[in-house]
Structure 1
Amino acid sequence: MTTQSRPPILLTMADYYGTLAAVRSLGRLGIPVTVAESKLLAPARWSRYVTRRVECPDVGDSDAFLEWLLRFGEAEPGHVLYPTSDDMAWLFALHREELGQHFRMYQPGVDVIYGLLNKQRLHDLCKDVGLDVPDTWFPEGEGDLEKVAAEARFPVLLKPQTQILFESHVKGSQVERASELLPRYREFLERNRYGRKLLDYDPKANRPMVQAFYTEAAQNIFSLSGFVDRTGELFVARGALKVLQRPRKLGIGLCFEEVPVDPELAEKVRALCKKLGYHGTFEVEFIRAGGKQLLIDFNPRFYSQMGFDIARGSPLPLFVYEAACGHEERLGEVAREALGWKGGGQYIYCHRGIFELLLRAQGLSGRLSSGEVKQWREWYARNRERAVDAVIDTGDWVPWMVDVAMHLRSYARHPKGFIRTMVLDR
């Protein structure tokens, strides 16, 4: 198939690093890339590999965005469409039939996606295939909290049971004592809101869950990521260890190291996908604690550090593209190449700009000792030769400049958030 005859792909949420990784991966292959974005300061929007830029409503307004997406698809049918966030994964699945009339999709149904993005449903599925999960309670209301407080070992984490259409996007908070559980539960319900579409689908989705707290979560989160096809037989995976996040107890990954894939664990993840009927890209997170791998998250979409896997011979956006286009033979060829890839060295992933800012800020505040700051800088220097950056690319510099401007603007508008997460590590 010639480059000129290849269908374009439509990518949304250009401020996500998974979107930037997909733009670069597919654009370098000559596949036409259309980016739909409402924000000016969005790194992927300004990549040299973008073929076309279109304006769209903010994805936070799901009704307006979906209306625009359907109009775009009707006017310009044939684009490949794939999600970059939990919101988009669920919305695309919820409206799969309408979207599928205009777009090429590799999208499971809404019950499949919700089964992975709702922690209570995910935990039930994990038990069926032999995957371990953290001790977790799903209180139906305040009446269940007394039992939770009696059974749980404090401190615990109070977390949303799903991030779909979750307006505050908080990962969770630590509850130190049993006496604090009820007021913190009430505070969660008062302060956090979900989109109407989700609550129409599941009225109980807004109830937080209580999860055991593991100190290992700060530096011992293992990630298994890759692609699985509809049959469950084509399965490509890479392993990574999250070694630094912000905040360090519970936050967004900044630094990862390459680690081998655990074959037994990978087989259980494949079984989970087959049982539920999931196909597409995935990132599954585990806490290594007490000799077990405890599954804490399953992301059925493009994800932030996807560029790390692409650099390690697993071109996930291309898998999705070929599958959505129905190119089964080509999909098999790409998979065989990925399965046969030999790295020949230790790869790391680092969002270098935020990494340096965090070291400086927490070094000055005392949250990191001078010895720890030195250790982290030595870690990067030692692995620099095979370091993959979230944004920096020598052949595509503009997204890096836009990323710097995006963060400066965010910190200027939300100084308290900057101090809390980057300086005080909370």
Structure 2
Amino acid sequence: MPDTPPRPYTAVSTPEVDLVLLGGDIGIYALARAFHEKYGITSTVVTRKVAGPVADSSILTTVELGMAASEEDMVAALLQVGRDKAARPGGTRPVLLANADFLVALLAAHRDELGELFHLPLLDDDVLEAVADKATFSQMCSEIGVATPRTVVLDFEGGTAPEVPELDLGWPVVAKASRSSAYNAVSFPGKRKVFEIEDRAQLLDLVGRLTEAGYQDRFVVQEMIPGDDTSMLSVTAYVDTQGRVTLLGGAQVLLEEHTPGALGNPAAMFTTDLPEVFEQSVRFLHHSGYRGYANFDVKIDPRDG
């Protein structure tokens, strides 16, 4: 019997759903595509530059602001988009989403004015601040017995170089911004998402470059957990408005990104059950008061499990 040819895909238009997205990376395209496949809608994307996956797509329209656009320009553009949509006869109140930490922080900082025009599915400020800060995240994990790498926090408050203590973490160590929203505001030669630091001299050099660039937040220095890309695990969860974890998905990473700006992002994974990791993830979500979608990166230490 011959194979039945696949039926052509047809999205069913749902006019009572509207979506506005801030940003222009592949994650923004993925959100636009998911909403299009479910609701048949064309999303509006507000971005500094139209390029890559959001360029020439038939499932979204773009508002390009230019690379020099400030965060204030982004908020002004969103407000204009919201007012334009509200002025249309029979227009529906759009949902506003972003896919990068610093853009989520931007929406949260302007939640009152944006909330007059958009549905804003955002965490409360105190929860967002706690879970988006790697230093605070580690502290919260320790409160509920969830293991994290040993961590030393360097504070660049006021733009001054912190004193670097003698470390008992072994070399090399991992160094990264405590909050990516603050790190996004600075630029310097050799900037990376995550640094592998071989010795104290390299760490002092990084501290100097961060200070010269005007960085004014915390940086975390952590022990290096051995293992290649395949040692990484990923957990995706959803917490409903009542605080119930209604979705848990686990995966083992096969390959990560290795470009400086995306180091550590999973590029290929296969799904698998992770009961012990699921239990710890749920414990953290309940402890933090988190709501919405969440993702955890997990690495099992081969030295002690």
TM-score range with shorter-chain normalisation? 0.7 to 0.9
Bigger RCO (CA 8 Å, 6+ sep): 1
Contact 1:90 1:164 in 2 (8 A): yes
5 Å-filtered alignment, 1:34-113, equals 34-50=44-60, 52-56=61-65, 58=67, 61-77=70-86, 78-113=93-128
Show the counterpart of 1:27.
36
5 Å-filtered alignment, 1:362-381, equals none
* 2-structure distance, mates of 1:133, 1:252: 17
Deviation at 1:123, TM superposition (A): 0.8
* 2-structure distance, mates of 1:164, 1:70: 21
Change (3 A) 1:215 1:25: same
Contact 1:36 1:53 in 2 (8 A): yes
Higher fraction of helix: 1
Deviation at 1:83, TM superposition (A): 1.5
Paired residue secondary structure (2:298): strand
Q: CA RMSD for the aligned pairs?
A: 2.8
* 1-structure distance, mates of 2:51, 2:212: 32
Change (3 A) 1:258 1:291: farther
Deviation at 1:236, TM superposition (A): 0.8
Change (3 A) 1:291 1:240: farther
Which residue identity is paired with 1:171?
A: K
Contact 1:224 1:284 in 2 (8 A): yes
Show the counterpart of 1:160.
177
Show the counterpart of 1:239.
250
Show the counterpart of 2:294.
282
Which residue identity is paired with 1:182?
A: L
Paired residue secondary structure (1:242): strand
Further displaced range: 28-37 or 250-259: 250-259
Show the counterpart of 2:164.
145
Deviation at 1:135, TM superposition (A): 1.1
Equivalent position to 1:229, from 217, 236, 240: 240
Which residue identity is paired with 1:158?
A: A
Deviation at 1:9, TM superposition (A): 0.5
Deviation at 1:12, TM superposition (A): 2.4
Show the counterpart of 1:208.
219
Change (3 A) 1:25 1:252: same
* 2-structure distance, mates of 1:239, 1:70: 38
What is the CA deviation profile of residues 133-188 of structure 1, one whole-angstrom value per residue up to 9, with x for unaligned ones? 111101347665233x3x22111122211211423462132222234433332233
What is the CA deviation profile of residues 61-89 of structure 1, one whole-angstrom value per residue up to 9, with x for unaligned ones? 21111122123223324110112111111
Show the counterpart of 1:131.
146
What is the CA deviation profile of residues 327-381 of structure 1, one whole-angstrom value per residue up to 9, with x for unaligned ones? xxxxxxxxxxxxxxxxxxxxxxxxxxxxxxxxxxxxxxxxxxxxxxxxxxxxxxx
TM-score by length of 2: 0.79
* 2-structure distance, mates of 1:67, 1:217: 44
Query: Across the two proteins, how many residue pairs are aligned to each other?
Result: 277
* 2-structure distance, mates of 1:260, 1:40: 36
Change (3 A) 1:92 1:185: same
Change (3 A) 1:55 1:257: closer
Change (3 A) 1:189 1:243: farther
Which residue identity is paired with 1:237?
A: L
Contact 2:50 2:62 in 1 (8 A): no
Contact 2:252 2:271 in 1 (8 A): yes
- Ranges in structure 2 where 5+ consecutive residues have no aligned partner: 1-11, 87-92
Higher fraction of strand: 2
* 2-structure distance, mates of 1:59, 1:113: 27
* 2-structure distance, mates of 1:134, 1:60: 38
TM-score by length of 1: 0.59
Which residue identity is paired with 2:165?
A: E
Change (3 A) 1:34 1:246: closer
Change (3 A) 1:60 1:287: farther
Deviation at 1:234, TM superposition (A): 4.0
Show the counterpart of 1:373.
none
* 2-structure distance, mates of 1:71, 1:139: 40
Which residue identity is paired with 2:64?
A: E
Say whether residues 1:256 and 2:268 are aligned partners: yes
Change (3 A) 1:40 1:3: closer
Equivalent position to 1:17, from 16, 22, 26: 26
* 1-structure distance, mates of 2:219, 2:106: 21
Which residue identity is paired with 1:134?
A: P
Contact 2:245 2:282 in 1 (8 A): no
Contact 1:241 1:257 in 2 (8 A): yes
Deviation at 1:115, TM superposition (A): 1.1
Contact 2:134 2:179 in 1 (8 A): yes
Contact 1:6 1:31 in 2 (8 A): no
Contact 2:253 2:270 in 1 (8 A): no
Q: Sequence identity, in percent?
A: 22
What is the CA deviation profile of residues 164-221 of structure 1, one whole-angstrom value per residue up to 9, with x for unaligned ones? 1423462132222234433332233224x55xxxxxxxxx52x322111123154311
Contact 1:108 1:277 in 2 (8 A): no
Show the counterpart of 1:361.
none
* 2-structure distance, mates of 1:107, 1:170: 28
Paired residue secondary structure (1:104): coil
